[in-house]
Amino acid sequence: MEKSRFTQRKKNCRFCTDKINQVDYKDTSMLRNFVTERGKIVPRRISGNCASHQRVVGLAIKRARSIALLAFSEDR
């Protein structure tokens, strides 16, 4: 079985699997899984989140940024 170089395994939404429906902006250790080292939000295509959970995560990240729990952009 030879797979094309670009084939990726199907990613499942982590929150759907765990049946978590709300994401707390205070939970920075969890949110850090969904931002890059520079502080950008990881796109759904990479994170594997479903649309509704990606929105929830995005909102939480934006809230955390606004209260200085997460950086808007991180210098390396």
Tell me which residues touch other proteins (CB under 8 A): 21-22, 24-30, 32-38, 40, 42-43, 47, 56, 63, 65-72, 76
Q: Do the Cβ atoms of 22 and 63 come closer than 8 Å?
A: no
CB nearer to other proteins: give 12 or 33: 33
What minimum distance in Å lies between the beta carbon of 2 and other proteins? Answer: 22
- Whole-angstrom Cα distance, residue 61 to residue 63? 5
What minimum distance in Å lies between the beta carbon of 66 and other proteins? Answer: 6
**Sign (positive/negative) of CA torsion 26, 31, 37, 43?**
negative
